[in-house]
Amino acid sequence: MRRALLRFALIIVTLLNSACAAGIYQAIAPEGDENNLKARFDENIALFEPRYEQNALVNTQLMYLCEAYARTKRFTRLSACLDRMEARYNTGEKTYFNIDLYDYIAVSRTKAFIDLGDYSGAIAYSAGYLDKKKSDMSRTFMVQEISYSGLAKALSGDRQGAEAAIAELESVYLGYPFNLVQPERNEGEARIFMALKQYDKAYEVMQRSSAFAEFAKAVAQTALGSPGWFVILELPTQYMRARAAYLSGRIEEAKKGYDALLANERTRDNGEILWQLLFGRGRIAEAEGKGEAALRFYLQSVEVVEQQRRSISSETSKIGFVGDKQALYQGVVDLLIRQGQPAKAFEYVERAKSRALVDLLAERQDLMPQDASSVAQALGQLASLEQRYAYIDAGGRESARLRSAMASVAGELRQKAPELASLVTVEAPDTAGIQARLGADETLLEFYGLGDELYVFTATRQAIRAVKLNGQGLEADVRALREAMHNVDSDAWRSVSRRLYARLLTPVEDALTRPRLTIVSHGALHYLPWSALFDGQRFLVDKVTLRQLPSASVMQFLAVRKVSAVRDMLLLGNPDLGDKDMDLPGAEAEVRAIKALWPNSTMLMRKAATKNALGKAGQLFKVIHVAAHGEFVTDRPLNSRLLLTPEGADNGQLTAGDLYGLRLNADLVTLSACETGMGKVLSGDDVVGLTRGFLYAGANAIVASLWPVSDDETRFLMTSFYGNLKKMPKAEALRQAQLETRKRSPHPFYWSAFQLTGMGR
């Protein structure tokens, strides 16, 4: 958008080319245009937001506000702003200096999809818009839309589609009077080439220049009499040149480019490239053997990323946003381990897991303490300080004073409302606090990696250490074990299970001396039946009591939940789906068997097993057991669902997305259904699925399955589990149920599918 507006300003000053050009520009330029050209985005936010709240902005003003949100990575506000623009567009506010404003809206939405890691969303949205509007789009927006579409295809692995986008960009006529769009096309093609790992081609593209564009900008700079007008627009181009040089092996050239950009005080205004600049400069420092300097660059880059992450509200967006930055976190973790700082590395592993669920858990709790007025005052004070800090230079006494004041207020807020503070301040996970929450008889294993790099951290109350593992072919091994598990007439699972045990657990065998083991998985390991890993003599379930956690930081929120439900157990079974082929007589028998063990439980069967009933009764019961069909939707994990009885206009499908609007007060939710423990691991290693949804909704622990198990074995395991639950903690009750089921049905397919996530006590 800024290049489109730059064209407007350049045309004016190039035509006028006089000492009065700046004055004339000031007289006719739209409100907010100068702030946008100089990248003073926070000033435009301060300028327009009060009128936005009053719904008093016209579409040209909304465009500047949306652009400010986009450039400062306030994604939730950006989405609402674009919605407002679209609504006004539909009432007739359609153009701006002959630019169709919907073109801006479309490009902005596509770019936001990519920023948040939703490449399929970007591809689908862009394809729909280009099919409808390409012939009528301005050259600038058409080039941008094709570029972002090609980038999304490259990032999603569609090489052919990405190359087709490059060819399409090359076919767009950009001779006079469209010369000013040439740099836009160069950057777009270079991004696609980089995503395709064709770095020499990216470098070649970034060496192109447009003589006309350079001449026009030089004339404009002279006429306006200020070098600050257009320098900010050159930052992305300069960054792309430096990055292309680095990726193509021209290290000294890249280093000079990075250093020049970091020395430019305007660079800090561009959060879109700042974290990448710092990361890239850290990579160069590390290659030069300057570990301490590299770490400083990396940590600064992480802080930029996490400041931006704060502005995202939806779970999948948080995950996607951090997901494409995993190489940064891995660089920090790897360097810290090599420097002999495993506890510090563990802290950044927890950050790397994007902490989306942690943020959402904090949002859902009753965060305001009794002294709500003082907390509100602290929040207001922190917001005021942050706003003032945004408008001053990074150096100097005032900057240092404001940073100190913000730290002081943030510390006060953490004392009064720690969960709330986690939403409005960026702070490291409390590693010591995580260790303190572990039992004296407990070890935590946390896995982390990227590509073939894999680490495991062992944490106890006393110490944290890190071990590097062999991650090559890990996903294939996990898939092979799951496939072998389904052949109940074969022992083919044994060799794969032993191989996985050897690579994942043997290097930390001493961690298994404690009777309780908590596992934080990573990537493909989320789908691994840990209890069935075999050392040649014994299964892991023979040695320890297991529980899973999505991240170690989740413990702080689960530990403070107080279950105040007054009734023992809610049993939902065999919902009536209107199709006899979908009936589950085994599930009904399972529920009745549990009812016999817990006679005070409430049983809702067939037509009574509705989503509405679960929603209304959910806060009343300590234990909720659901025996129903479950479906895992791979490509849209928030649509993974339990199939309950339809009721009126309600189709009865309880999706993972629905769970984020549900409130429970349960110590335990058991999902005795098909693949209810499955979820999609997104690139930030957070998992979206039913298990996470129930944690978010208020359950302290969830027992769910990794694959469908036959009715008889499931009923036996579940009745054993609930019988054990009367006399032992949840995790141990499940372990004993698995051991008892194994005596009856030795093949691990029958007893290892169920796992417990959350609080095991």
Q: Summarize pLDDT for 34-80 with one digit per residue, the tens.
A: 777 766 777 888 899 999 989 999 999 999 999 888 877 777 789 99
pLDDT, position 600: 86
More confident residue, 16 or 508: 508
Task: Give Cα separations from 74 to 79, 270, 318, 566 (angstroms).
Answer: 9, 13, 12, 42
Please indicate whether residue 639 or residue 182 has the higher confidence score (pLDDT): 182
In terms of pLDDT, which residue wins out, 742 or 565? Answer: 742
Report the C-alpha gap between 417 and 432 in whole angstroms.
19
State the DSSP string of 697-716: HT-SEEEEESS---HHHHHH
pTM value is: 0.72
**In the predicted structure, residue 121 carries a pLDDT above the cut 50:** yes
Decide: residue 337, CB within 10 A, 0-12 exposed, 13-18 middle, 19+ buried. Answer: buried
CATH topology of domain 561-758: Rossmann fold (3.40.50)
End-to-end CA distance of the chain: 55
CA 615/CA 659 separation, integer angstroms: 9
Instruction: Name 704's bridge partners.
Output: 755
Structure-token pair, residue 669:
């939710």
pLDDT given for residue 59 in this prediction: 92
When the pLDDT of each residue in the chain is averaged and rounded to a whole number, the result is 80
Residue 192 has pLDDT above 70, yes or no: yes
Report which DSSP code applies to 30.
P
What mean pLDDT comes out for the span 553-582? 80
Tell me the per-residue pLDDT of 717-738, one tens digit each, with 9 for 90 and over.
Answer: 999 999 999 999 999 999 999 9
Residue for token pair 């005795």: 672
432-555 is classed in which CATH architecture?
2-Layer Sandwich (3.30)
Decide which of 526 and 385 is more confident. 526
Is 50 exceeded by the pLDDT of residue 675?
no
pLDDT band at 367 (very low <50, low <70, confident <90, very high): very low
Calpha distance 641→693 (Å, rounded): 10
pLDDT over 80 (residue 225): no
Tell me, what's the pLDDT at 356?
Answer: 46
- Per-residue pLDDT for 129 more than 50? yes
In this predicted structure, the answer to whether residue 85 has a pLDDT above a threshold of 50 is yes
Percent of all residues in the chain with a pLDDT value above 90, rounded to a whole number: 35
Q: Return the minimum-mean-pLDDT range out of 212-216, 246-250, 273-277, 733-737.
A: 212-216
Res. 360: pLDDT tops 90: no
Selection from 220-234, 291-305, 618-632 with the highest mean pLDDT: 291-305
CB atoms within 10 A of CB 395: 9
- 29: pLDDT confidence band, cut at 50, 70 and 90? low
Where does the pLDDT of residue 314 fall: very low under 50, low under 70, confident under 90, or very high at 90 and above? very low
What does the pLDDT look like over 603-635, one tens digit per residue? 888 888 888 888 877 778 889 898 887 776 655
What's the pLDDT at 172?
92
Residue 587 confidence class, pLDDT cut points 50, 70, 90: confident
Checking DSSP bridges between strand 653-655 and strand 668-671, what pairing results, if any? unpaired
Q: Is 608 exposed, middle or buried (0-12, 13-18, 19+ CB in 10 A)?
A: middle
Quick check: 425 pLDDT over 80? no
pLDDT band per the 50, 70, 90 thresholds, residue 365: very low
User: What pLDDT was estimated at residue 297?
Assistant: 93
Q: Give the confidence band of 578 by pLDDT, cuts at 50, 70, 90.
A: confident
The pLDDT confidence band at residue 684, using thresholds 50, 70 and 90, is: very low
What span, in angstroms and rounded, lies between the C-alpha atoms of 309 and 426? 9
Q: What is the pLDDT of residue 406?
A: 65
Tens-digit pLDDT profile for residues 644-670:
888 888 888 887 777 767 788 888 998
pLDDT of residue 39: 67
In this prediction, residue 477 carries a pLDDT of: 92
Q: 159 — phi, psi (to 5°)?
A: -65, -45
Cα 94 from Cα 99, distance rounded (Å): 8
Q: Where are the domains of the chain?
A: 2-269, 333-429, 432-555, 561-758
More confident site: 275 or 344: 344
pLDDT band at 27 (very low <50, low <70, confident <90, very high): low
Q: Place 19 in a pLDDT band, splitting at 50, 70 and 90.
A: very low
User: Domain 2-269: which CATH class?
Assistant: mainly alpha
* pLDDT tens sequence across 495-549: 999 999 999 999 999 888 999 999 998 888 888 899 999 999 999 999 999 999 9
Q: Over pLDDT 70: what percentage of the chain?
A: 76
Flag whether pLDDT at 390 surpasses 70.
Answer: no
Q: What band does 97 get if pLDDT is binned at 50, 70 and 90?
A: confident
pLDDT at position 710, please?
Answer: 79
Note whether 199 and 184 are within 8 A (CB): no
Task: Kindly state the DSSP code that residue 366 receives in the 8-state scheme.
Answer: -
Predicted confidence at residue 562, as pLDDT, reads 73
Q: What is the pLDDT of residue 566?
A: 73
Tokens of 206: 């970034």
Parallel, antiparallel or unpaired: strands 567-573 and 602-605: parallel
